[in-house]
Amino acid sequence: MEIILKQDVANLGYKDEIVKVKNGYANNYLLPQGLAIIATPSNKKILAENIKQRAFKEEKLRKDAEALQTALTGKSVKLMAKVGENGQLFGSITNQQVAEALKEQHNYDVDRKHIVLDGEKIKTVGEYAAMVNIYRDIKAELKIEVVAE
Q: How confident is the model at residue 74 (pLDDT cuts 50, 70, 90)?
A: confident
CATH code of the region 69-148: 3.10.430.100
Facing residues of 37 across strands?
4
Q: What is the pLDDT of residues 18-67, one digit of tens each?
A: 999 999 999 999 999 999 999 999 999 999 999 999 999 999 999 999 99
Its CATH architecture, for the domain 2-63, is: 3-Layer(aba) Sandwich (3.40)
The residues spanned by each domain of the chain are 2-63, 69-148
> Among 105, 141, 97, which Cα is nearest to 123's?
97
Please say whether the beta carbons of 6 and 28 come within 8 A: no
CA angle 78, 81, 85 (to 5 degrees): 125
Domains 2-63 and 69-148 share a fold: no
Distance CA 105, CA 18 (A): 50
Distance CA 93, CA 78 (A): 11
